[in-house]
Amino acid sequence: MENQYDIIVIGSGPGGYTAAIRASQLGYKVGIVEKYNTLGGTCTNVGCIPAKALLDSTEHFHKAKTEFELHGIELNNGLNLNFEQFLKRKDGVVKSNVSGLSYLMKKNKIDVRTGLGSFIDSTHLKISNEGKETVLESKYFIIATGSKPSSIPGVAIDKDRIITSTEALSLPAQPKSMVIIGGGVIGVEMASVFARIGTEVTIIEYTDTLIPTMDHELGKALFKTLSKLGIKSLLGSKVQSATNTGNSTTVKFEDHEGKAQEITAEYCLVAVGRRAYTDGLNLQAIGVETEKNGKVRVDDQLRTNVENIYAIGDVIAGAMLAHKAEDEGVFVAEVINGQKPHINYDLIPGVVYTWPEVAAVGSTEEELKAKGIAYNKGSFPYSASGRARAANDTDGFVKVLVSPQYGEVLGVHIIGPRAADVIAQSVVGMEYEVTAEDMYRISYAHPTYSEALKDAYLIAAGQGAINI
Ligand code: FAD
Ligand code: NAD
C-alpha cells in the first residue's frame, strides 16, 4: 500500500504542486515525484521567484542612484552594492517559498518522493535516487516535467561563459559586460537586472522588435526604456556563434544590414526560448506521443494518447507561464474527478517584469489586423496620470482595443508602473464579457495607476480623457 497511489504527479513545479494539492483536496491518495531535493520546479528555484527577487533589488538600487535626490533623499555615505548579500537575499526568498511548498505538501497529506521518475508501464513508475530504485504504482499519472533552456546552432551552452538564466541568477561576481542572445522575456528581464547595477549589456534580437510575441507598440516603448538604462538592443540581428575564450566570450552575428559583426563580453546569456523536458521519463515504454518539437501531445482534457496519463504546464503546448501551468494543474485534477472545469487560453495574461512593467491580455493590434477584425483604439499615457507623477513613474501607456460594433474588449496592452497588477481587472472584465462602456462607467479609486484604463476606454469610445 505504501507505494500505491490514486494519482502520481511527476514534477513539482507550479503545474505539479497545484495538481497534487487539488487532487488531494478532492480525496485522492497523491504522490509527487521530484528529481531534485527541492520542491517548486523552475519557477520557484531558478525562474519567476529568484528573477523577481533580483529585479526588485536592482530596481531599488537604480532608484537610489538616479531618483532619491529628486525626492530629497540624500545618501551621504554613498551607494554601494554588496553582491554577496544581493544574491543571499534572493536565495532566502527561494528558500522560504520552497519551505512553504513543503508545508503545503504535508498539510495536504501528499507524499513527496525524491528521485527521477521513469515509466515501466502505464501503471508503474520507477524512481531512482542515489543508486536506490523504488517502484510506485498508480491509477493515474500527471506528467508535469516542465522545460529546459534551448539554444541555437553555433552556440553551445557551457554554463561557464556561455550561460542560461539559471547561471545568470547566481554568478560568482558582478559582471562587467554581458551579451544576451534573444530579446524575449528572459532577455529583457535579465538585461534590466544587470544594467541597473552597472553591467554593460547588449541584447541581440533576431526579429525587428523586443518581446516580439507581444503587441509591437509595447516592444517599441520597452526599447526606449531599456535604452535609458544604457542597454544596447541590436534588432534584426542573427547570431551565428558564441565562443568561450577563457575569461570572456565572443559572439559573432549578422547585423540588420547583413554585415558580419562581433562583440566580446564577460558572459553570453542564451535566452532564445525553452524546450519541453521529457528526458529520462521513458515515454517510449508506454507509447505516449510527442509533437515534433518534443512537447507531450494532449487532447482538450489534457489527456495523452494513453488513457490514464495526463500532462500539463511547459511540457505541453501553449504559453510557458507559471500561471498557465497552475491553471492546468487544477484543471486536470478536476477532470480526473469527473468535473467539467474550463480554462480560457485566450485570456491568460502575459507579464514582463521590467520597470516599468509590461502586461497584456487578449489580441494584439497585429493579430486583429491580420484577421481583418475592426477595432477602436484608446491610448492613455502615464505622463498624464496624477498617480504616476506623484511616484515619478511617468513612462508608458495603457492601450485598449475595442470592437466598434458591440464594445467588446478585444485586447489590453499596458507598459507602466505596476502593470502586472493593473492587468488583472481587464482579465476579469474580458472573461465576463463586460463592454468598454462598463469599464469606463465603474468607479476607479483616485489616484491609482488603474485609472489610466478608464481614460483609455473613454478615448476608445470617442470621448476625451476625464481624469488626471
Ligand atoms: P517546471 O517548473 O519546469 O517544473 C518541472 C519539475 O519537474 C522540475 O522540478 C524538474 O526537476 C521535475 N522533473 C523533470 N523531469 C522529472 C522526472 N523524470 N522525474 C522527476 N521529476 C522531474 N513564468 C511566469 O508565469 N512568470 C514569471 O515571472 C516567470 N519568470 C521566469 C523566469 C525565468 C528565468 C524562467 C526560466 C522562467 C520563468 N517563467 C515565468 C516560466 C515558468 O518558470 C514556467 O512556465 C513554469 O515553471 C512551468 O511550470 P511546470 O510545472 O510546467 O514545470
Ligand atoms: P522567448 O520566446 O520569450 O524569447 C526568445 C527570443 O529569442 C525571441 O525574441 C526570439 O526572436 C529570439 N531569438 C531566437 N533565435 C535567435 C537568434 N538566433 N538570434 C537572436 N535572437 C533569437 O524565450 P525566453 O526569453 O528564453 O523565455 C523562455 C520562456 O520562459 C518563455 O516562454 C517565457 O514565457 C518564460 N518566461 C516568462 C517570464 C514572465 O512571465 N515574466 C519571464 C521569463 C521567462
4-148+275-345: CATH, from 3.90.1580.10, 3.50.50.60, 3.30.360.10, 1.10.600.10:
3.50.50.60
Q: Is 216 a catalytic residue?
A: no
The pLDDT score that the predictor gives to residue 298 is 98
Residue from 154, 217, 163, 158 nearest 186 by CA:
163
Q: How far is the CA of 60 from the centre of ligand 1 (A)?
A: 27
pLDDT digits (tens, 9 = 90+) for 332-373: 999 999 999 999 999 999 999 999 999 999 999 999 999 999
Give yes or no for residue 464 having a pLDDT over 90: no
Residue whose grid cell is 533623499: 73
Give yes or no for residue 1 having a pLDDT over 90: no
Give yes or no for residue 467 having a pLDDT over 90: no
**Rounded Cα gap, residues 98 and 391, in angstroms:** 33
**Rounded Cα gap, residues 151 and 138, in angstroms:** 36
Query: 165 CB under 6 A from ligand 1?
Result: yes
Q: How confident is the model at residue 52 (pLDDT cuts 50, 70, 90)?
A: very high
Report angle CA 409, 362, 293 to the nearest 5 degrees. Answer: 160
| Packing angle of the helix pair 14-25, 322-336 (nearest 10 deg) | 30
Q: How far is the CA of 297 from the centre of ligand 1 (A)?
A: 18
Average confidence score pLDDT of the chain: 97
Q: How far is the CA of 397 from the centre of ligand 1 (A)?
A: 31
Average pLDDT over residues 375-403: 97
**Rounded Cα gap, residues 126 and 124, in angstroms:** 7
- Tell me if the domain spanning 356-460 has CATH number 3.90.226.10: no
8 Å CB contact between 374 and 347:
no
Average pLDDT over residues 429-436: 96
Nearest bound ligand to the CA of residue 209: 2
Q: How far is the CA of 443 from the centre of ligand 1 (A)?
A: 38
Average pLDDT over residues 272-288: 97
| CATH homologous superfamily for the domain 162-272 | FAD/NAD(P)-binding domain (3.50.50.60)
Q: How confident is the model at residue 468 (pLDDT cuts 50, 70, 90)?
A: low
All residues at 6 or more sequence positions from 322 whose CB lies less than 8 Å from its CB, including other chains: 13, 14, 43, 47, 48
Dihedral (CA of 217, 218, 219, 223) sign: positive
Task: Take atom 41 of ligand 2 and give the residue whose Cα is closest.
Answer: 352
Give yes or no for residue 466 having a pLDDT over 90: no
Give the other-Cβ count within 10 Å of 132's Cβ: 8
Give the three cell numbers for residue 139. Answer: 491509477
8 Å CB contact between 381 and 450:
no
Task: From 42, 102, 125, 351, give the residue whose CB has the most ligand 1 atoms within 8 Å, as the site to mutate.
Answer: 42
pLDDT digits (tens, 9 = 90+) for 105-157: 999 999 999 999 999 999 999 999 999 999 999 999 999 999 999 999 999 99
Task: From 157, 188, 274, give the residue whose CB has the most ligand 2 atoms within 8 Å, as the site to mutate.
Answer: 274
pLDDT digits (tens, 9 = 90+) for 63-97: 999 999 999 999 987 899 999 999 999 999 999 99
8 Å CB contact between 193 and 59:
no
Burial 62-97 (b: 16+ CB within 10 A, else e): bbeeeeeeeeeeeeeeeeebeeeebbeebeebbeeb
**Rounded Cα gap, residues 314 and 143, in angstroms:** 10
Start-end of H helices in 122-250 = 165-168, 185-196, 216-228
Average pLDDT over residues 5-11: 98
Model-level pTM?
0.98
Q: Do domains 4-148+275-345 and 356-460 have the same CATH topology?
A: no
Task: Take atom 31 of ligand 2 and give the residue whose Cα is closest.
Answer: 320
Q: What is the domain partition of the chain in residue ranges? A: 4-148+275-345, 162-272, 356-460
pLDDT digits (tens, 9 = 90+) for 309-330: 999 999 999 999 999 999 999 9
The pLDDT score that the predictor gives to residue 77 is 77
The pLDDT score that the predictor gives to residue 321 is 98
